[in-house]
Amino acid sequence: MAEFTFELNDDQKQVRDWLHGFAKDVIRPAASEWDEREETPWPIIQEAAKVGIYSLDFYAQQFFDPTGLGIPMTMEELFWGDAGIALSIVGTGLAAVGVLANGTEEQIGTWIPQMYGDPDDVKVAAFCSSEPDAGSDVAAMRTRAVYDEAKDEWVLNGTKTWATNGGIANVHVVVAVVDPELGSKGHASFIVPPNTPGLSQGQKFKKHGIRASHTAEVVLEDVRVPGSCLLGGKEKLDERLARAREKAKTQGERVKNAAMATFEASRPAVGAMAVGTARAAYEVALDYARTRVQFGRPIIDNQGVAFQLADMRTQIDAARLLVWRASWMATTGKPFTSAEGSMSKLYASEVAKKVTAQAVQILGGNGFTREYPVERMHRDSAIYTIFEGTSEVQRLVIARTLSGMPIR
């Protein structure tokens, strides 16, 4: 078991510096343009593919880092460059992880390469879970998957929302209800192959921030997929449903709690994204405060500005440490007895909103214009307290974990 450490090893430092260079030289110069265009930055994704960042191999290496720091380090550096472009680069990973976690070896080998394409013809994938009436409340999901035994096909109907790459993806991974009586335990995941009839893009959202990342509804109307597209296979699904029905008779709410607990392990990655954005805004504000002269001296000489910067740096470092602790715990199999995953996401996301707002304030009128990046960073930061569970949901999870009450 890897010991917890605050020091990156030489290999991790090399990867961090490589990612930082890409974020500095490729992502950041393009950030304003793609934010204004509100379009998927295909040329930047292609550049990431050419150097090996946009690939399953790279993310697998970081995911299996025994210290647990590979993924948060990656997220922080890419989102330091720009949140919208970074999300376009890492968004496919959500779908890939869904297949890796639930799929067979054959499904993994068949579908994940199609999610990424190749450097000359990059593709993206979409993970479709949220619905108009089922965001944090996953048990309220309505998209149904019905098995047609005669044809060995699954028929999917419903509407998904807030899907990163939804509708433009080569491969969609869709979570649907197969047994409504089991709540979130009655869900299963399905691959929807390219050009499958019945799948269409609904509304594309015009967002406050992360505008370079494509977010849209995905509409499923009698979408038929082969039985082989059920992740894990039908035999495994039937066994899991049978166990869930038996547990439901004796454990009640605890069946649902197990599903909620799975989200805990993924939340530190979102916290790392928030840390990257906060750090970027802090660095801009620090450089500005050192060079901006008012009343005959740099504004950092004013205690009101200096103390803000001191608080910003302290909060960013504290957020990173919470993220690293939770990531290490998840990788080494230590249970989140105090909802440490939610703690890291809650604190880091709130810090990102606060720090970016302070950066705008330190830059004054310049911070309010699009000539300086902190305005965009402040808009981008708003998403961190919303997706992957709102701050209110994180507080609820933490409070109920500490009190021993069921997580609903």
Which helix or strand (DSSP H or E) is residue 399 part of?
helix 391-403
Residue 25 DSSP symbol: I
Left (φ > 0), alpha (ψ -120 to 50) or beta: where does 322 sit? alpha
pLDDT of the residue at 262: 42
Looking at per-residue pLDDT, the higher value among 319 and 139 belongs to 319
168-217: pLDDT as tens digits: 999 999 999 999 988 878 999 999 999 999 999 999 999 999 999 999 99
Distance CA 275, CA 287 (A): 18
Q: Which H or E run includes 326?
A: helix 303-332
Q: At 42, list the tokens.
A: 């295909």
pLDDT above 80 (res 261) = no
Q: What residues pair up with 163 in beta bridges, in sequence order?
A: 216
Q: What would the DSSP string read from start to end of 239-289?
A: HHHHHHHHHHHHHTTHHHHHHHHHHHTTHHHHHHHHHHHHHHHHHHHHHHH
CA 339 – CA 278 distance, rounded (Å): 23
For residue 216, what are the β-bridge partners? 163, 204
Report whether pLDDT(380) > 70. yes
Q: What is the pTM of this model?
A: 0.92
388 is catalytic: yes
Strand partners, 199: 220
Smallest CA-to-CA distance from 324 within 262, 271, 257, 395 is with 271
